[in-house]
Each structure stands twice: as C-alpha cells, then as structure tokens.
Structure 1
C-alpha cells in the first residue's frame, strides 16, 4: 500500500494550464478549430521581418493569440513558432529578445511539457545561459546605484528576468536530460540573490526565482548540495517564512497573494533540502512539523472552491463583453505583453491564489509521504520495505521516512500514536469536492481553461495528501482511532461524494477525472483499513469498485480496488455483499486450465484478501465460504498460482490456508 510520492518522472508542479487533449490530433484539425487561423501566417512571417518593430510586434502577438486557445497554440507550434522565437532571443534589438522571452514563457506555462521539450531540443538553453550573467550584472547595478537607471528600464529588466526564470523553471521539470543541463549552469546562487534582495525588488520577480528554486531542489542532489553549502541561503528562506526582512511592500490584495506564494515556496524549498547541516540556523529545526504544517494548514483552509468557480464564471461572462485582445494589436500601437484588462488581471489573481493552494497541497503531500510507518513496541527498529511487503503479501512503493509526524499526532516510545484525525483532514475533504468549473465539459473545452486546470489539480493534490495521511494512520492502528467510527464514515462518505460528482463518463480531455478515481480509491483503502469491519458496504459502491478493477490497465489501481473491497467484505452482517466481493476475488485467480487475466500484483492481493476475509470461520459471512465451496476453487488455483507467481511464499500461504479450512468441522 504505497504512498503518493513526488517523482521526477511524473512532475506536476506545472500542469498544462490550457489543455489541448480534447482536440483531435493533427495540424488540419487545429487549423479548422482555431478562430484565429488567418492571423497565424502573417505573424510567423513578421517574426522573420527585417524591420525590428515588426519582429517585436509578432512576438507580442504570439502571446495574445495563444491566450486560452489551445488550437491556435498547436497551429503556431506546427508552424515552428518555437524555433522562430528561440532565434529571436539572439536578436540584435533588445526589445525583440525581451518580447520573445515573454512569448516563450507564456508558451511554457500554457502548453506544458511537450512545448518545453521542443524548446530544449531546439537548444533554448544556449541563449538563456548568456542572459544569466547579464541579469546578475544589471541586478547588482540597480541594487548598488538605483538612480543610475530610470524606473522604466528597471521594470523591463525585472519583467525579463521573471520570464527567463519561469522558462528555466518549466524546463527543469521537463526531463532529466533538461534538468542535468540546467544543473550545469549553477543557478542556485543566482536565484537566491533575488530572494536575498527581496526588499528592493518586485515580488513577481522574486517569486519566479523562488518557483525555479523549488523545482530545482526537489529530488535533485546537485541543487540541494549547493543550497545546503551556504548557511546564508537557509537563513534567508527562514526569514521569508517568518516575515523577517521586509519584501518590497504594496498594500493591495494581489501583493498579499504573491507574498503568501513566496512564503509557501520558501517552506517548500526548506522541506526539499532538509535536514540542513550546521551551522545553518535551520539545522535543528524539524521543517515539516515546525514550519510546513503550521504555515500551510491555514493556506489550504483559506479558499472556497465553489466561490472561486462562481467568481471565475462571472469574470468570464464579463470578459466576453470586452473586445478581443487580437483586435487591439497593430504595429502603431506598439503592444506590450502585459497589456491586459482589469477583468483579465482579476482572473489572473484568482488563478494565482488557487495555484498557491495547489502548491501548498503538493508540499504537504510530500511531507505526509515522509511520515514514519511505525511498528509495535514489541519490535526493535522498523521493518524494512521487503519485510513489510512479505508480511502483507503485496508489493509496496518505495517509502521515505525521516521521523516527521503530523503536529497533532504525539510521539511515544518511538512509535506514532494517532490520538484523533489530524486537523488537516477537514479542509482536504472540502477541497476534493468538485465545483462547476472543475472539469471540462464532455465535448470541447472549459469556459476558462486555466481555472479548470487549477481546480482539478487542487482536487487531485488534496486526494494525494489524504491518501498519505490515511495510509500513515492505518500503519499504526489504535483502539481509540478504530472506535471513532463516525469519523471514518464521514471521510468515507465524503470521498464517495467527490467521486460521485466526478462520475464514470470520462471522455477525451478528461484525464483528471480518471486521476480522481485512481487516487480516490487509494484513500478509500486507507480509510477502510482503519475502520475495517465497521464500514457497511453499499451495493452501488461495491459494483463501481469491481468495475474500476476490471477496466483499469494499471495493476496498482487494481490492487487498491481489491484492497478496498477486502475491507468492505469484512463487515460481519453484510453477507450478500461479502458473497459478491468474494466471487469477484475468486474470478481474478488462475484455474487449473487457464491463467489469470490479471498481472502478478493483483493476483497476490486477491489471494491475500481471500485468506484475510475467511481466516475466522466464526464470522456470520463465513457461510458464503462453505456454501460456495470456495475451498475447492482455491484448490483449483494452486498450480496456476505456482506458475504465475515468483517464489513459493504465496503458494505456501495458500496451501496452508486450504489445509486449515479443510480441517475445520462444522
């Protein structure tokens, strides 16, 4: 039963902001579905114009064309807009390469990993590397002698820096190859310089640097070592978390949201690099318990997704009455990439606030993944992963432990004793419930894709966090927790309510719905393990779990379904549900004449489940085992189990169980 871990191969810091998976593949379909098809070719041509003002205009136009428009983005991509913009980064005119960086940044954010991979393959790092020392030099000059450059010039440099750092951030999570190349640039001191000078810099610029640092230090040893090498770096991060050393202040809501994001990112960076060695000020700090949980719990409880969704819909309706951005573009007007209406800015503020919640959930999920899996006091030390897997007859994902525990789970004699549900559970339960804009419609795209993207990401991240919490709690069951059946039913019902809102009709472009089910069933398994025997199985829920188990191609999802069904089958009085579940589990096993259609892990889990369910012949539902002649069905599976499974352990368990059942006399 593995916890959700942040893995480099499955990065999700920056999910595609404007998904295009609902569109048919191919340039022709993109051209036919793009409302701006006719504007694309002139813009591509102007990117190569001998006139610098036309090249600059074309770069800005790209940013405006792709706004919430995946078909036009895909069409531009097919016309090699990425290669053309990378070429413009080496333009002879400063204004052109500044605007090109802005357009590339927007493509990264909106388009996700595919576009980032294309940028890396087309060698975007070559020009980006040349910008780093130039930016450092300009920053030093502005900080030492701010009057030497006019404010407008400083503003341009800061916005350009934000774009460069954002591109580097997105590239860092594209692939290990891109990450290794970025490691060679040694960015940590460069990025930390912005955080250190936060009192004199725009907060958006500082936050972009922090975003890049957060991604670079996540499971990336070269960056972790570099940040650990300087006590000043960790001191700076602690000061930000504790509001020491003022950030350049502006008294408005947008600034407050940005500051919260910066504090969340700083706590995430500290979490990534902890434990910090002496003489760092944070060397003796339990980052998870003393920094991350106290800071992030209020953040995840601070937002109503229902209200946020309604606000986004109102703003989108208002925006529809405003003239399209593309109509504002002309060579004479000299458009700027930050030329947005008040409504657009308000939508961006809402999205940024929601992204902060998503980030906080991601950090909390990582912290909860490091919760210890305690053992009873009778054991000395902890079972390693292999021993634990053998004991439970199921393969588990690699787990990382650092001794951190949730703040309201006290530590006693080296073991974690859960006294009650963590305070974090209730806000997470609220965040998994879908709102109107949470998922795109069955056909087409959302009325505001960025809001839909972040809402669905929040639901998934909240489920991942719940998954880790309940797996941690179920690892050390106590009588006090097990008897809190009302709490168990509340969580169980809330997860099913969320999954019910998601529904089972999942069409093209609705991959997040699938993720909700796949992660949600893991939460159900954790809850089921804690309150095994007290959760009354619901016929519809049992059938949905069986349906997901049969339809999923992922063995891990099948294992979770089987584990959850096992928990439900052990409600003593639910004899009919027990029979239905047992028949499904038996159907997974091989027979003397046919192998199982399932892979090894689900077969092991099904066998383990059947043995656990029917290990006590005195339970009311054991009548199903006897009347259904299950022992003969298990005998029929022995040879198939031996052929299908590596080693003799599971077969030996099965044979021993069969002998035990045969020896019983009723």
Structure 2
C-alpha cells in the first residue's frame, strides 16, 4: 500500500461544488433534467448581440443560471457557452469582458475538470495572458495613488483580477499540458505582488492569488524554483504563515476577523511546505517549516472545528431558506435574476469556505504525516534499523511488510500525533454528508460536497500516519507494546463506526462519494491492522464486508488493500474460525489450473503472500486450519500457475510488479519446502 500522494489529476484544490456524476450523460438528458430550457436560448442569442448591454446581460445570466444547477450547466455547455464566453473576453466593452470573466470563473468552480479542459482546448489562455500585464500596471497605479480612481473602479479591477487568477488556478489542475502552458506565462511575480500588498487589497483577491500559487508549487519544479530562490518571496510567505507566539505557546489565540485570513495563512504554510527545503540566505531557511509553521497552524484549525455543530447550523439555515420567498424570482421580467444573497445564503457560503479551509489543511497535513517521527523503542534487543527506510517511504507502491520479514524483536511504545483524535472526529458522517437515496440531491449540495471532502481528506491523513508507523515498525523489527493494544482497537472501532454510517449502497445514483470513502478507509484499516497485528479481534461482519468489497470491486489496488487487511486479521491467535474463513477465501484467489488470475495479477500475488505470512508460524493455534484443510497440497498445485501468471507481467511497463511477483514465487517455493520439512 502506498501513501496518499498529491496527484494533480485529483483536482483536490478545485472541487466540483455540485457533483453531477449521478446525472445521465448527453444533451438530451440535460434537457430532461432541467426546468430552465426556455431561459437558455435567449442567453445564447444575446451573447453575440450588437448591443453591449445585451451581451453583458447574457454573461451575467450564465452565472446566475448555473449556480448549484449541474443540469442547466451541462445544457449551456452543450450550446457552446464556453466558446461564446471566451470570445467575449476580447469584447470591445470592458464591462462585458469583466462579466464574461466572472461567468467563466464560476463555470470553472461549479463545473470542474471537464469545463476546464474545454476552456483550455478552446484557447482561453491567449486572452488571459494579455490581462496579466494590464492588471499589474493598474494594480501598481492604484497602490501608488489610491485616490486617483473611484472606489467602485478599484472594486471592479480587484474582482476581475480575482476571476482571472481563479481561472488560471483551476486550469493549472486540468492537465500537465495546461500546467506547462501556464508555466510559460511566469505567473509567480504577478501572484506574489498581491501577497506583498495584502494589507491594501481585498482579502478575497489575495487569497485567490495564494491559492493559485499553492497549486502551481504543487510538484511543479519551475514554480517551486522561482519562489524558493527569491528571499523576498519566502520571507513574505513566512510572515503570513507563521502563527504568533501566543498561538505557538498554547495552541490558542485570537482568531482572525475574516475566515479568509485563516485560509490565506494555511495556503502560505502549504506553499512553504511545497517549496521546502528553502536555501539560505532567506530568513525562511532558518525555520522548521513542518514543526514551526505547518503543524501549529493546522492543529489550531482542527481543534476548532466540529462537524456536528456545522451540520446542525447548516440545517437551520437551509430550513430558513426554504421558508423564505425566493427573492431571485422577483426580478423584472427579461432581466437576469438578482445576485442578492439572503443572510442565510451568506452564512452558508461562509460555512462552505470554512470547510474548504479545513479540507485544504488536511491535504497539507497528509504530506506531513508521511514523514512522522519514528516510535520510540522501549527494549532494544539488537534489531538493526533498515537503512533503506527513507527510500521505502518515498515509494508510491511501498509494501506494508516483506514476506520474509523476521518476527518483531523489540517492544515499542507508539506515540500517535496529537491531532489523531481530531481526525477520527472528522471522518464521522453527518446528516448532510451524502445526498438522500431517493433523489440523489442534497438539500444544499455545496455543503454536502465540502463535508464529504473533509471526511476523505481526514482519512487520507490517517492512511499516511499508519503507513508511516507500519513502515517504521518493520524497519525496527518491532511491534507495539501490549499497553498499546487498547489504543489500536479503539481506533479500529471508530473507523468502522464511520463506515457503518457510510453504508454499503455505494453504487446508487448520486452516491459515488460513499464509494470514495470506502476506498480510502480500507487503506486506513490495513495500516491499523499492520501496526497492531495480532491485537485486532476479527468480527465476522467486518470480515465478510471486506471479502464482499474485494469481490465486487474492479480496482486492483482496492483488492490488495482488502487482502492485506484480511491477512492481518487472520493472525489474531484466538480466532481460529475467523482464520479459517479468511484463509479459505485467500486460497480461492491463488492462481491455480482452474483459477486464472486474469489481467490484474497483483491481488492474486498478494493472496499468495498473505497465506505465507499467516502460516509462517506453525506453533500458532490457528495453524490447525493449514494442516487439517490440506492447504499445503493446494499451494503445491498452484506453483506452476503462479509462475505462469508472473511470466505474463510485462517486464518493460510493470517492472516493479514483475520483480515483486518473482519474490512471491521464490517465497512460495521456499515456504512449501519449509512446511514439507516440518512433516506436520
């Protein structure tokens, strides 16, 4: 099992606010699922009107119609609204350009990957590039002589800059092709100019600049190097990100007046994490970024968030919205709906923003959790530390345990990070986590989307925590002390409590995020099971669910996680019947003359490896299952099929898996000889 990695294609920083995976594909389906078909045609017609007022009206109408409405968004997309809006970015009227930028920005945020890809393919970068120097010049003029232009002119410029930056940030996560094109624009000085003048600019625009820079420095060397090598940039970022002394001392402190200030602080901490290590002579080079900047900032946020409280308040606000007349529908006929927001809508937007900041914090923390300090051994009986531990931690496909790893020789006290209890609280579903089963539409989709994103990000943190612990224990040839067993079982119970609330109906329309939670959570279960191997009591219901999930999923990685977890559960010494259930299932996955592994060999290799590990100790109480059920004969009969499956692995494209398969084959042959020699 590998770490939860930062993968650009996941678009974690540009979440689709209203997921539409439950909707049928195609224009006809979009027409059937929206009540706004009649409003679409006038918008498309007026987008090319000779009257600038009508072109502006059309741009504004797009923003209003797509809000929390994926069906209408898809319908507009089918009518080439993206191409029309990109054309309007070169309109002769500035007001039309501004509104077109706002509509495209909203499409990016509400539509996600598909629309961003369409924008890139339709060459949106060409007009966007021309705006960068113009905005820079205007910004410099405003900062130098703020009274030379009315306040409303300032606000329009800042809002337009925000829109342009947000589009670029979203496009940066669309594909490597789009990212490489954006690298050519050299955005770093432009974005840093907003951070440098943050005290004089709207916080929303500065936060957007920081978010764009955070995305650009996420595993993207050109941007990383440009920021890292500029001492003024890193000093600026550090001044925003570092908590004050009061916060560092006791974990408390006065909260910023605007939640976007918290977001800005987290983003700057994340940027510093992305570009570390920072070379001297920058003042940031002297700071321990993880321990002095990232962790204090994030721990403060995690300790102040309560999803049950947020859920309760959101439900109250949703009820208020339902009870109020829809002011947006009271607009004058023929004009776009009003963008006026009620107090309830404003507070719901603040809740969503707060949840997205928590999600962002958790994503940064996921990277930190992959390199947590080792547990401290209590008794050392001479086990050598694995010199390749660091290399294994960097391998995406690092295995939890080697087949021939020796039994633990050291008892270790495991010191879990202080934020683990907060993470366990953040994975528990609330009433708004998932849409209702009947209509697959949440009463407030943005809140639902943000809450479940927090759950998944917290699970990814836990995944890396327990992977790091498992790898460290393996390197030390150590196991947890007996006093830690209760901690492990308590964490295990809380993970399962969350999964029970998620439920198993993951393939229903609109319920895809339930499946996402299961996929990440099984990795967490595997990590816990490895760390506390032999201490987790296998419950039949949990074992059967893992077997069921392994059978129904088509994802080889998830199958491997299920098998790895079952392997550890089978080694609870007192559960002979559970061991029998698990081992018989694993044996059914072993390649044999009547059981071809098909195209995905890795899960079957994992099953072979698991059986070797489970029955490597012939003195265990459950070894009776191996002897009485004739497992040795079945493994002997599988050797040639295992060899054949391994020969089918492409050496060129799956080199690591081929090497892993050859190790499993050799271990299987050695294991058979060993068991034969015992003559039991």
- In the alignment, the residues of structure 1 paired with residue 554 and residue 594 of structure 2 have an alpha-carbon distance, to the nearest angstrom, of 24
- In the alignment, the residues of structure 1 paired with residue 192 and residue 286 of structure 2 have an alpha-carbon distance, to the nearest angstrom, of 22
The 5 Å alignment of 1:342-353 reads: 342-353=343-354
* Residue in structure 1 matched with residue 316 of structure 2 by the alignment: 314
* Residue in structure 2 matched with residue 421 of structure 1 by the alignment: 416
Would you say 1:623 and 2:624 are equivalent positions? Answer: yes
* Residue in structure 1 matched with residue 655 of structure 2 by the alignment: none
Q: TM-score, normalised on structure 2?
A: 0.90
* Residue in structure 1 matched with residue 137 of structure 2 by the alignment: 137
1:377-397 per-position Cα deviation (integer Å, ceiling 9, x unaligned): 624732544897597259xxx
- In the alignment, the residues of structure 2 paired with residue 428 and residue 448 of structure 1 have an alpha-carbon distance, to the nearest angstrom, of 24
C-alpha deviation, 1:211, in angstroms = 0.6
Q: Secondary structure at the match of 1:484?
A: helix
- In the alignment, the residues of structure 2 paired with residue 254 and residue 243 of structure 1 have an alpha-carbon distance, to the nearest angstrom, of 11
Q: Secondary structure at the match of 2:554?
A: coil
- In the alignment, the residues of structure 1 paired with residue 257 and residue 181 of structure 2 have an alpha-carbon distance, to the nearest angstrom, of 34
* Residue in structure 1 matched with residue 588 of structure 2 by the alignment: 587
Would you say 1:430 and 2:425 are equivalent positions? Answer: yes
Would you say 1:535 and 2:545 are equivalent positions? Answer: no
Moved more, 612-621 or 577-586: 612-621
Moved more, 416-425 or 114-123: 416-425
Moved more, 144-153 or 254-263: 254-263
C-alpha deviation, 1:533, in angstroms = 0.8
The 5 Å alignment of 1:294-443 reads: 294-324=296-326, 326-330=328-332, 339-371=340-372, 378-379=384-385, 381-383=387-389, 384-385=391-392, 392-393=402-403, 419-442=414-437, 443=439
- In the alignment, the residues of structure 2 paired with residue 210 and residue 578 of structure 1 have an alpha-carbon distance, to the nearest angstrom, of 52
**Cα distance 1:59–1:482, how it changes in 2: closer, same or farther (>3 A)?**
farther
C-alpha deviation, 1:538, in angstroms = 0.3
Moved more, 383-392 or 654-663: 383-392
- In the alignment, the residues of structure 2 paired with residue 561 and residue 256 of structure 1 have an alpha-carbon distance, to the nearest angstrom, of 43
- In the alignment, the residues of structure 2 paired with residue 44 and residue 72 of structure 1 have an alpha-carbon distance, to the nearest angstrom, of 13
- In the alignment, the residues of structure 1 paired with residue 547 and residue 443 of structure 2 have an alpha-carbon distance, to the nearest angstrom, of 34
* Residue in structure 1 matched with residue 195 of structure 2 by the alignment: 195
- In the alignment, the residues of structure 2 paired with residue 121 and residue 162 of structure 1 have an alpha-carbon distance, to the nearest angstrom, of 22
- In the alignment, the residues of structure 1 paired with residue 399 and residue 456 of structure 2 have an alpha-carbon distance, to the nearest angstrom, of 27
C-alpha deviation, 1:615, in angstroms = 1.0
Moved more, 48-57 or 472-481: 472-481
* Residue in structure 2 matched with residue 652 of structure 1 by the alignment: 666
* Residue in structure 2 matched with residue 520 of structure 1 by the alignment: 521
* Residue in structure 1 matched with residue 461 of structure 2 by the alignment: 465
- In the alignment, the residues of structure 2 paired with residue 504 and residue 391 of structure 1 have an alpha-carbon distance, to the nearest angstrom, of 29
Answer whether contact 1:305 1:435 (CA < 8 A) is retained. yes
**Cα distance 1:524–1:644, how it changes in 2: closer, same or farther (>3 A)?**
same
Would you say 1:73 and 2:100 are equivalent positions? Answer: no
Answer whether contact 1:588 1:597 (CA < 8 A) is retained. no
**Cα distance 1:512–1:334, how it changes in 2: closer, same or farther (>3 A)?**
closer
1:305-345 per-position Cα deviation (integer Å, ceiling 9, x unaligned): 122122222222222234446524448978775x3222221
Answer whether contact 2:321 2:344 (CA < 8 A) is retained. yes
Answer whether contact 1:470 1:526 (CA < 8 A) is retained. yes
Would you say 1:573 and 2:574 are equivalent positions? Answer: yes
* Residue in structure 1 matched with residue 251 of structure 2 by the alignment: none
1:16-41 per-position Cα deviation (integer Å, ceiling 9, x unaligned): 11111111112122112112221111
- In the alignment, the residues of structure 1 paired with residue 411 and residue 227 of structure 2 have an alpha-carbon distance, to the nearest angstrom, of 31
Q: TM-score, normalised on structure 1?
A: 0.91
1:563-583 per-position Cα deviation (integer Å, ceiling 9, x unaligned): 100111001110100000000
Moved more, 215-224 or 327-336: 327-336
- In the alignment, the residues of structure 2 paired with residue 619 and residue 493 of structure 1 have an alpha-carbon distance, to the nearest angstrom, of 25
**Cα distance 1:229–1:154, how it changes in 2: closer, same or farther (>3 A)?**
same
1:41-86 per-position Cα deviation (integer Å, ceiling 9, x unaligned): 1111111111111111111111111111111111111111111111
Moved more, 385-394 or 621-630: 385-394
- In the alignment, the residues of structure 1 paired with residue 645 and residue 262 of structure 2 have an alpha-carbon distance, to the nearest angstrom, of 53
Moved more, 641-650 or 231-240: 641-650
1:146-182 per-position Cα deviation (integer Å, ceiling 9, x unaligned): 1111111101111111111111111100111111111
The 5 Å alignment of 1:95-106 reads: 95-106=95-106
- In the alignment, the residues of structure 2 paired with residue 120 and residue 328 of structure 1 have an alpha-carbon distance, to the nearest angstrom, of 37
C-alpha deviation, 1:656, in angstroms = 1.4
Measured on the aligned residues, the alpha-carbon RMSD in Å equals: 2.4
Between the two proteins, the alignment pairs up a number of residues equal to: 638
**Cα distance 1:82–1:334, how it changes in 2: closer, same or farther (>3 A)?**
closer
Q: Secondary structure at the match of 1:12?
A: coil
**Cα distance 1:553–1:482, how it changes in 2: closer, same or farther (>3 A)?**
farther
Answer whether contact 1:373 1:475 (CA < 8 A) is retained. no
- In the alignment, the residues of structure 2 paired with residue 44 and residue 377 of structure 1 have an alpha-carbon distance, to the nearest angstrom, of 72
Moved more, 630-639 or 643-652: 643-652
Would you say 1:448 and 2:450 are equivalent positions? Answer: no
Q: Which runs of 5+ in 2 are unaligned?
A: 245-253, 405-409, 647-657
Answer whether contact 1:354 1:454 (CA < 8 A) is retained. yes
Q: Secondary structure at the match of 2:283?
A: coil
The 5 Å alignment of 1:55-204 reads: 55-204=55-204
